[in-house]
Amino acid sequence: MERLTFFSYPSCTSCRKTKKWLNANHISFDERHLFRETPTEAELMRILELTTEGLDEVLATRSEAFKGLHVNIDEMMLFDVIQLLTKEPRLLRRPILTDGEKLVIGHNEDALKNLVSKKQDLKMSM
| Half-sphere exposure at residue 117, Cβ-oriented, CA atoms within 13 angstroms | 6
Dihedral in degrees, nearest 10, Cα atoms 33, 111, 17, 63:
60
Mind telling me the catalytic residues?
A: 12
Using CA atoms, how far apart are residues 112 and 106, in angstroms rounded to an integer? 10
